[in-house]
Structure 1
Amino acid sequence: MKFNAFKSATIGAMTVLAGACAGQEAMIEVNYGYLPVPTMPLFAAEAHGLFEDFGVDVTLIKFTSGPAQFQSLQAGSIDLAQGALAAFYMASTRGLEAKWVYNIGDASAISGLVLSKGSSLESYADLADQSITAPPGSILHLFHVSQAMDAELDFDRVDFVPLPPPQAVSAIQNGNVDAAWLWEPLLSIAEANGAVQVSNASEIGLHDVFGLAAGGEWVESEEGRDAVARVSRALTAGIEAYEQDPGPTLAKIEEMTGIKPELAQSVIARTNWATVTDQVAESNVFSLTGPEGSGAIIDWVEDRALAAGLINATGAGVDFLNPGPAQMAAQ
C-alpha cells in the first residue's frame, strides 16, 4: 500500500532513532510468539536487523493456534503474542492475564463471505435455515454474529458449522455448507473453485485488527514497557524497509511461513498497516487511546460475543489496553 506523508515522516523518524539507539543501550531479550501469516512489519524488521538496531534481542516462536499462544503467554514462556484483538480480548474474559499493547494492522480487506456455487443471497436474513461456517471463536465468527444481529436473524435459524479454515474451503467447494467466512489466501482459492464472494468485511465497515498482547505483569515492569516500545519502533521502521526493498522481507516470509512471494505481496498490499503514531492518534481505528480506536472495537466485540454465547462475562473493557509503551515509542 502507499503511505501518506504523515506516516512516511513517522517512519523516517523511527529510522533516524534506530541509528541513534544502536549500540547505546543494553539489549533486552524478548520472546515473541507469531503466527505463520505474512505480517510484513515483523518480517521486515527481522530481515533488516531492525530489532537489533533498536536494542531488542527478539526470539521468534511459531504458533499455529490462538489457544496455544494464550497458554504460553499466561505461563510466561513468551512475552509478546501476535494475533487478533478480538481473540485476545475474549480470552481475557476467561482469565488470560494480558494487556493489548500495539496494533500492527487491519486485515478486514482480505476477509469475506462466500457462497457455494449456485447459491444466492440478497440479504443476510436469507441465511435462515441454511448452513454457514467460520473458525469458531474467531473474528470471522464474530463477523457472522454481527451480520446476523444487524439483519435481525435468529442465531437458531442458521446451522453454524465450526470448521478450521482449510476444512471450511473444502466444505464450501463440495457444497456441504451454503456459506463461509474466509481469509485470504483461502478466499481466493474458494472463488477459483466456484464459490462466489458476496461480502468483503472492509467494504461493509467491519474491522479485523491484529497486533500484540503482552504478559500483564511483564509489561507493567520498566523493562517490559521499554521492550515493547523498542519492538514497536522496529515494526514501524520495518514498513519503510519493505517499501524501499521488499525482497528481503518476502524471502523471510517464505522462510518462516512457507507463503510464496506473489501471494505474500497480494496480502500485504491489501492490508492496512499501522505505525507508532497511529497508536496514539485520536481519530484512528488503531488508536489505543482515542474514542474511535481499539476501545470501540472492544465494545463491538464484547456486545456480539455475549449475544452469541462466545463469552459468559464482560471483560475489563478499555482497561485491557495499555498504551504506555506506544506513547513511549512515539516520543
Structure 2
Amino acid sequence: MANERWGLLTLQEAMDILGVSRATIDRWRKDKQLPHIKVGKEIWVDPEKLEAWVYLHASRQSEAGKPKAAVREVTVGYQSGAALLWSTLVIKKLGLLEDELKRTSPSFSYKVNWVNAPNGMELVESLIGGKVHIASIGDYPMIASQQLSRMLPLFRPLFLAFDGKTAGGDGISLVVPKGSPVRSADDLSGRAIATVGHSSASYRLKQWIGANGLESVPVVRRTMGECLSGVLEGDVGASFMWEPYLSWAKSIGAGEPFPSEGIGGDYLTGLMADGNWANGNKDVVIAYLKAHLRAHAIMRGDPAKAAAIIAEASGYPVRVVAGVIAGIRWDASLYAKDVRTLDRLLGEQALAAPAAEPEGRAAAGFEAGQPYLLDAAESLKLPILSAAELAGEWSEEEHY
C-alpha cells in the first residue's frame, strides 16, 4: 500500500504499474537511474518522478516509432573438449539460453557470446578479467578460483550448479600406449607423463605420483589433443586424460586406461560466475540455469539427440560421444557428498601462505541451496529442490 503521508509507492506497487519483475526493476535502478528513495531497508518510489522517468525512456524510440531495445551482452565460457561439460554444447546449438532470456526479459534484446576454451584455468582468468560471465569448469579450476579470491578481494567466485559428475574418479584416468610394456606404476619411473597443466587431470596425476612414490617422474604439459597424440605416437610413457579422450583412445586402438589407484574421489564439474556480476544480473543467471536444467533433461531423456548435437559441435565420433554420455550423471543438484569432495580439494590445495579464511561456506562459493538454482527449478515447474544439501548417495529421485 502507498505511503499515505508522503504519497509514495512501495517497490511492489511500482513493479505492478510497470509490469516487470523484481530483478528487472533492480537492474533499472542500477543501470537506468530509475528514481527511488531508500530508507533503511525499505525502498519507495515517487509516482510523479516515476511517470517522468517512464516518459523519458518511452521517448527513446527508433525513427520508425518502435521502441529501440537495449542490447545486453552475455558471454559464456565452455570447453568442447571436456565431456562432463558437454551440456553447454546442447544449450548453444538449440538456442536454449536465448529462448529463456526472451521469456525472462522480453523488453531487452541480447547478444550471447560463446568462448570455447582449451582448459578451465583460462576461463577462470576470463572470469577475473570480466571477459566471461558464466563459465563451465572442472573441480580443480573451481578450487583454484577460491584460492585466487583470497588474493584478489574484488573477485567473488560464485558456484551456481553442478554439471556432469562421475563416481570414484571415473571419466579421468591415466592412459598408456597400446602394447606398452608398462605393467605397474614402477615401470613408469623415468618415463614422461603428459597432461594439461593446472587442470583437474594434472591435480589427480600429482595425487597418483605421490601415492606411488614416483616423485622423480617427468611431467610434460600439453593440450589434451597433444596428450592423445603422445599416446598414439608412443613418445610419452603415459598421458593423464579426461573423457572423451579416454574412450576415443580406446576406440582407435591408441591406448588403454591404466589402473589409477590413489586418486579417489568423485570427478565433478560445474558452473561458476563472478558474484558481483551475478548479483546485478540475476535474471540472466536464472535464465542460464533454466537452460542448463533443460539441457540436462535432454542428455538424460534423449541421449541420441544429445550425442548427434555434441558430435557435430565437437568433431568427436558420434558413437564415442554416445558411449561417454551414458556414463556421466547429468545432475545440477548439490549433495552433501559433493560439497565434502570440494571442501577436501580446497583443503588439499590451500596456498602456502593464504590470506584470512572467509567466514562460512557462502564466502567460499560452495554454499548449499543457491537461490538462483531454486528459482530456475521452480520457474520450470520442476519438483522443488531442497534449500539444504541433499543427504546420502546420488539418487534418481533427486536428479536435475
Fold conserved between structures, TM > 0.5? yes
Written as runs of structure 1 = structure 2, the 5 A alignment for 1:1-331 is 30-37=74-81, 39-51=85-97, 52-53=99-100, 55=104, 59-65=112-118, 66-94=120-148, 95=151, 97=155, 98-107=157-166, 108-116=169-177, 117-122=179-184, 124=185, 127-151=188-212, 153=213, 155=215, 157-191=216-250, 192-199=252-259, 205-221=264-280, 223-224=281-282, 226-246=283-303, 249-275=306-332, 278-279=333-334, 284=335, 290=336, 292-303=337-348, 305=349, 312-314=352-354, 318=361, 319-322=364-367, 323-330=370-377, 331=384
Q: Offset at 1:274?
A: 0.8
- Say whether the 8 Å CA contact 2:266–2:341 is kept in structure 1: no
Check 1:312–1:91 CA distance in 2 against 1; reply closer, same or farther (3 A cut): farther
Q: Offset at 1:33?
A: 1.4
Structure 2 unaligned residues grouped into runs of 5+ = 1-18, 25-70, 378-383, 385-400
- Residue in 1 that maps onto 2:35: none
Letter of the 2:258 partner, please give it: V
Task: State the structure with bigger RCO (CA 8 A, min sep 6), 1 or 2.
Answer: 1
- Residue in 2 that maps onto 1:18: none
TM-score normalised to the size of structure 1? 0.71
| Distance in structure 1 (CA, Å) of the matches to 2:304 and 2:287 | 24
Q: Which moved more, 1:160-169 or 1:107-116?
A: 107-116
Q: Count the aligned residue pairs.
A: 286
- Say whether the 8 Å CA contact 1:41–1:236 is kept in structure 2: no
- Say whether the 8 Å CA contact 1:93–1:313 is kept in structure 2: no
TM-score normalised to the size of structure 2? 0.60
Q: Which has the larger radius of gyration?
A: 2
Q: Percent identical across equivalent pairs?
A: 19
| Distance in structure 2 (CA, Å) of the matches to 1:252 and 1:189 | 17
SS in 2 for 1:205: coil
Q: Offset at 1:142?
A: 1.1
SS in 2 for 1:321: coil
Q: Offset at 1:312?
A: 4.6
Structure 1 unaligned residues grouped into runs of 5+ = 1-22, 285-289
Q: Considering only aligned residues, what root-mean-square deviation do their CA atoms show, in Å?
A: 3.4
Q: Offset at 1:28?
A: 8.1
Q: Offset at 1:236?
A: 1.7
Q: Offset at 1:245?
A: 4.0
Check 1:257–1:119 CA distance in 2 against 1; reply closer, same or farther (3 A cut): same
Q: Offset at 1:105?
A: 1.3
